[in-house]
Amino acid sequence: MKTLKAFSRRLRGLLHAHRAENDFAAELDSHVAMHVEDGMSAGLSAEEARRQALIKLGGLEQTRQAYRERVTLVWFENLVRDVRYALRMLVRQRAVTAVAVVSIGLGIGANATIFSMVSRFVLRPAPVGDPSTLLSLQIIPDKESCCNKFSWPLYQDMRDDARSFSSVAAYYDLLPASIGGSGEPERVWGQATTTNFFDTLELPMVLGRSFTNDEDSKQVIVLGEALWRRRFGGDPTIVGSTILLSGRTFTVIGIAPAAFHSIEQILNAQFWVPLGTAAQLVPNLPQKSARDYHWLAIAARMRPEVTRVQVRAELNTLAARFAQSFPATDKGEQFVMEQAGGLQMRDRTSALIFLGALLLVVLLLLAIAAANVANLLFAQAANRQRDMAVRLALGATRARLQRQMLIESTLMATCGGVLGVLLSLWSTRGLSAVKLPAPVPLDLHIGIDWRVLLFCFVLSVLSGVLLGIGPAWAAARPLVASALKGEEALARPGRKLTLRNLLMIAQMAMSVVLLSATVLFLRSLQGAASINIGFNPHGTLIFSVDPRLHGYTAERTVNFLNQLRDRVAALPGVANVVCTDVAPLSGGNRSDGFTAPGESGKKKPFTYADLYMVTPGYFKTLGISLLAGHDFGNDAAGGPRMAVINKTFADRLFHGLNPVGRQVNGPKGPYEIIGVVADVKSRTLGEQTRPILYRSLAQSVESDPSFMGYTLIVKTAGDPAVLSEAVRRQVYALDPAMAIYNEETMEEHVRTAYVLPNLGAALFGIFGSIGVTLATTGLYGVIDYSVSRRTREIGIRIALGARPGTVERLFLRQGLVLTLIALALGWPAAWMLTKIAASLLYGVQPHDAVTFFTVPLLLVAVALGACWIPARRAALVDPIQTLRTE
């Protein structure tokens, strides 16, 4: 503390050094004068008194010097001087600096981009009051590895019994609703919470207040700031007024801050209503009394005096107690807790692998870039050996020269870091625009925050020091005698494997790994493109409506959908219109467990199948071929329930027997199978083909309404995008308040499903090409340097009769040997590391033969190309010229 204070004063002293010196001169004058006076009064002559005083002082100049060193920080002054000198050097060697800054900039830029994802999804705490004491609780059911939500009775028990928490809140994490306000009707997502939700989060409102204890079943609503600004123009008087939410009036009581979109930071909720009102907004909401229905997420605020170990102990005690009181539902259950707002446990492992793999790749990229720059600096050091030798001869210490070089390289890397951060501003914006195929609203915005900046700063300084150490060490110990004579002074006689060659090999080996990953992901893209999605998206427009959110009954919903289909079908150019609940490849869907009478119970109790509601003509419209039986007719809503199943489901349940005419039993009763259709990809592109059961929309809306609304599929001979306006008009003609969402052409929709293979290929394509380019220029640099160093030797060889071809081969061989060593190191490393990527690949194995065969060939070809240019130059050396100049 004391030292720190002194340090800051001395830092400030730098600014006032001149004034302090004058001040001290005056003080010293008065000191000497007083001493002389005393001496004279003791009887000495003026001259003798002054002599005595100066002796006692220990010399005027010495005192001044000692004082000056204390006023400011001498080492700091030196540092400033070195930095200034380094800047001059960097400017003088513009070309080298530019190449170095760009190389490091690309490396840091890639790191900043990837780390901004790590920062956003892993490190950033939830935007709530004191995130460190807010916990998310989950259940691990008996004999399972991951987690489930809470039932209402379990939440109540936790809230009432747990002593570790000052407050426990529950929320239903996503519910759709149509919302009023300005502009076209819109469907938005929100959350239904217990009334203590915002108090537990300690989240202050931007405007108004949060829920009070007695408002659980009152129709009040808290709006997110973004929604408030977008749909209500940021109206400051909105608190107290009513708005329409799914056709019901809710009173706005507060505005939540823009940074908050749910505790799970990946979700994008925009409004909050009390849990007691949720039943009006969501069909089939679970009964509150059911202890075996897990539907509520839990956030708990720890008491300040309680530690996490104590919380964990209490949760274990409670789990044991609940298991005893409710053996039917709670037996074997464990509670897990984690800091609220982190990655959700279920996806954590795969997300961490994905980010870890990316981070590894970009760090490799930076290492390649740094090795490249280090090589450049070696070459530069060779050019500066004379300068260094002169300074050494004049008495500079090696440490001083090394420090000088290190400052240069660190400065270079820091400039690179700044460039990198600028690049990542652009790249993160691009990445934020990526839309993931998911059925729920996600907030995937990433940006540069302080964690990213800190990471980049540390990384730049570190790489600056690391890449500078070798060259600095080498440059500071030239053979002074040789250097002063103008001879090569850095290459020690008799040394074959130089540091530069080692760096080169490391760099090439790393690019083998990088290139393997790149080719693998390009192959994966190719693999993804050849995946048969099972339906034809061409010439199709899709859009969704959810009449239930506008207060429609099941019957009115079916009528509305029928009328809409008729109206749209009558539009010019429209060939066919069908309706489903969710379009395929939407990222997730409902599924149920089914059994076949007489077939079940052998191995597995249930076969899980995805459920789709369809109207007659669905299969024809999407080009899904009917393999057996027939399509739906106009089945009566109340009649026996019909189903069409896909081939995988038929195979799995009936083992090759003809299923048509048989029954399957689901949790909501039996279905009669009327047809079998070809397989389609149901949720995601990369999935193993899943069993699917299609049921009649007319028969399902009443008993099992869709949570996600209903999607119309419009087939046209022409461009589906131009239909959009006409279709919208038909919807508004039936109900001007109906919200339309997820409107896009089916081809756009399918393209979204390709986002992961595309993203992988794009990222690795960019990283891989940068890495290989850097490594290649590095190799070129090494061979080029070696040629220029050996010009005289080449001249002599040629003069003695060596043919140009021989000389050329000499250098090609040198490059080839380096490349082969690098391959021998990098290839096995790539073989091992690409295994990590297995889960991210489509239709290729991580040990893909094509990849591991082409990468070495590709690299050797590129390396030979890079060596050929300087080798060619060597072959064209004119012996007379070189021998004369030397």
Using CB under 8 A, list all residues that contact other proteins: 2-3, 5-6, 9-10, 13, 23-24, 26-28, 30-31, 33-35, 37-38, 56-59, 62-63, 66-67, 69-71
Distance CA 226, CA 271 (A): 10
The Cβ-side half-sphere exposure at 872, using a 13 Å CA radius, reads 7
Shorter beta-carbon distance to other proteins: residue 44 or 678: 44
* CB of 29 vs other proteins, minimal distance in Å: 9
Shorter beta-carbon distance to other proteins: residue 37 or 687: 37
* CB of 762 vs other proteins, minimal distance in Å: 56
* CB of 31 vs other proteins, minimal distance in Å: 5
Backbone angles phi, psi at 423, to 5 degrees: -60, -40
Cβ neighbours, 10 Å, residue 57? 14
Shorter beta-carbon distance to other proteins: residue 61 or 725: 61
* CB of 39 vs other proteins, minimal distance in Å: 12
Shorter beta-carbon distance to other proteins: residue 37 or 77: 37
* CB of 82 vs other proteins, minimal distance in Å: 24
* CB of 81 vs other proteins, minimal distance in Å: 22
Phi-psi label, residue 584: left if phi above 0, alpha if psi -120 to 50, beta otherwise: beta
- Look-up of token digits 């920062």: 119
Shorter beta-carbon distance to other proteins: residue 56 or 604: 56
How would you class 260 by CB atoms within 10 Å of its CB: exposed for 0-12, middle for 13-18, buried for 19 or more? buried
Cβ neighbours, 10 Å, residue 643? 25
- In sequence order, the β-bridge partners of residue 148 are 139
- Report CA Rg, the chain: 37
* CB of 38 vs other proteins, minimal distance in Å: 8
Shorter beta-carbon distance to other proteins: residue 7 or 853: 7
Cβ neighbours, 10 Å, residue 719? 11
Shorter beta-carbon distance to other proteins: residue 38 or 184: 38
- In sequence order, the β-bridge partners of residue 713 are 542, 578
Are 688 and 633 contacting, i.e. CB atoms less than 8 angstroms apart?
no
Distance CA 71, CA 847 (A): 65
In Å, how far are 136, 150, 174, 198, 299 from 296, measured between CA atoms? 11, 5, 10, 16, 10
Distance CA 195, CA 209 (A): 12
* CB of 43 vs other proteins, minimal distance in Å: 17
Are 750 and 720 contacting, i.e. CB atoms less than 8 angstroms apart?
no
How would you class 766 by CB atoms within 10 Å of its CB: exposed for 0-12, middle for 13-18, buried for 19 or more? middle
* CB of 65 vs other proteins, minimal distance in Å: 10
Which of 6, 123, 84 lies closest to 446 in space, CA to CA? Answer: 123
Residues 6+ apart with CB under 8 A from 500: 375, 378, 782, 785
* CB of 76 vs other proteins, minimal distance in Å: 14
Pairing status of strand 297-302 against strand 710-716: unpaired
Shorter beta-carbon distance to other proteins: residue 43 or 240: 43
DSSP string, 377-412: HHHHHHHTHHHHHHHHHTT--HHHHHHHHHHHHHHH
Shorter beta-carbon distance to other proteins: residue 34 or 454: 34
Shorter beta-carbon distance to other proteins: residue 66 or 529: 66
* CB of 13 vs other proteins, minimal distance in Å: 8
The Cβ-side half-sphere exposure at 617, using a 13 Å CA radius, reads 13
Q: In the chain, count H helices and then E strands.
A: 29, 21
* CB of 62 vs other proteins, minimal distance in Å: 6
Please state at what angle helix 345-383 crosses helix 398-432, rounded to 10 degrees.
140
* CB of 18 vs other proteins, minimal distance in Å: 16
- Three-state DSSP at 639 gives coil
Shorter beta-carbon distance to other proteins: residue 70 or 445: 70
Shorter beta-carbon distance to other proteins: residue 6 or 393: 6
- Look-up of token digits 């409107």: 743
Shorter beta-carbon distance to other proteins: residue 3 or 885: 3
* CB of 48 vs other proteins, minimal distance in Å: 17
Shorter beta-carbon distance to other proteins: residue 11 or 80: 11
* CB of 87 vs other proteins, minimal distance in Å: 30
Shorter beta-carbon distance to other proteins: residue 44 or 363: 44
* CB of 12 vs other proteins, minimal distance in Å: 10
Shorter beta-carbon distance to other proteins: residue 68 or 218: 68
Sign of CA pseudo-dihedral 355, 357, 358, 362: positive
Pairing status of strand 740-745 against strand 334-339: unpaired
Shorter beta-carbon distance to other proteins: residue 53 or 253: 53
Shorter beta-carbon distance to other proteins: residue 53 or 775: 53
The widest CA-to-CA distance across the chain, in whole angstroms, is 134
* CB of 60 vs other proteins, minimal distance in Å: 8
Please give the DSSP secondary-structure letter assigned to residue 671: E
Range list of β-strands (E), 717-810: 740-745
* CB of 15 vs other proteins, minimal distance in Å: 14
What H or E segment, with its residue span, contains residue 514?
helix 499-529
Range list of β-strands (E), 180-270: 186-193, 207-208, 220-224, 242-245, 248-256
Distance CA 513, CA 827 (A): 7
In Å, how far are 107, 371, 832 from 367, measured between CA atoms? 8, 6, 19
